[in-house]
Structure 1
């Protein structure tokens, strides 16, 4: 057989490469075909043309080896890429569904946080109002006490105010600690749920492959719906935040008004007590002056009359008293 008749000893379609190298009888059949074609030439070493033909056939056999080996290497490289591509698709699927879960639940998460904040603010306001009422009552009672207990009452009022600040700080600390603890518990629960979801995703990988096309369409619809619902939730949250801020400002203004009213009442009570004391002092001075004038009218000197009045005021004269 001439060299040009066996120039291409074998040709394999790329799609059938894997079948050829995994099925040994098929590969052996191809090798036998190459052998048959290569050995079909009748060797004649007496002529240069025959010797050239033998060398050409041997060269074509070497080319066939290189050709088959390259096909096998290319297929192996392609197969090595498959696990990487599958892992990338799995990661894409997990990330997408995690984001979708967070987007779907975000309105509920925002609502729960807002409800907790409102409850904490309401409780703190009620406790502050009750404490303010108690402080005001204690202060009014203190104003009715005599001058000897004024100092003690003021110290008690300062102690009550310090206790109020400490209680309010403790309430705020406990609320912060509770919120932090609940956030940590929620994060741990979310982490455990994520681990369960990942395990379930691994087990469902084969099933997800057949459902991928339908799931992609549902995911697109869900994503569009989530975007719309998120925008609506953000608008509701914005309006709720505005309302909460307005309520907070109103409550702060009412508290400030109540504090001003209490301070005004305290100042009025103190002024009234000072006026009463001043009037009592003036009245006593007037009565003492009249008694002094009467004693001087009996012939006593002013110093003698003053001494008598002082003795009576100090209750040093039995059976005698000045009526104020």
Structure 2
């Protein structure tokens, strides 16, 4: 205990000297002083004055206790308020320093973000070139040819900066893949077209052969019927001749009539034969027309199938574009959510891209 503390009395305690008094062992001097005062005399309990003196000494102790306790309690309250003041001051200081740090670094941060955006644009461009060789379904040769044409128009120049060599290599590799695929699809489609042509030709030949057979059989049937009728006429004529020879005198007048009738029937048979031949020719011509119509219908059907295939390719391309837009939206929302957690846009974008590429184990993005 210092000499200054030893000469301070209870009445001298104030807010100024409280830090020096209210320390470990700092109040002992006041207790000792009060104790010495109240125990320095022994009042006589048998007298009223003595008893009043004891009560006065006890009151002195209470008064001295209050004189020490009240400034101490006030000092203690100030001590309890001090951490709040210090915390507020520190919080304000830290906030200002953080803002000053961020403001000081902002030009570098802006440059880093711009640099990363520039690199990302080149990386995305290279990936877009690679994606041209990726198809969800087997494409038509014409579609592949159009993709090749579009890719050939992509310029590889100094605008690619340090990615120039990689972009050129990826473009060459992608063109090589596309040209190989185009050759394969063109060969396959040509083979399919040839098979279709051969099938149609065979069907046409089979149909013509069947129609020719029907016409031939009809003509043969007509010939047989004409020959049968002629044979019957010949048989009838022979019988008539035999009958007339047996009764020449009786049927002399009928002979001329029978001869005329025979001639009429012969003419009729001839006309019927000519009509049968003409009918066979008409049927053959009709069969040829039906065959030509079938070939034309097959050609129209093939055109319709080709148009349908082209429409399907366009639909699939539109679906892919919609899927790319949807995924970009999902990735953008995921990035914004991370930014909302006080993660920088650069880091948020990097995290989302790594997750989307499957580079973060056990973590996926639901599209």
TM-score normalised to the size of structure 1?
0.36
Structure having the larger proportion of residues in helix: 1
TM-score normalised to the size of structure 2?
0.33
Look at both structures and tell me which one has the larger radius of gyration over its CA atoms: 2
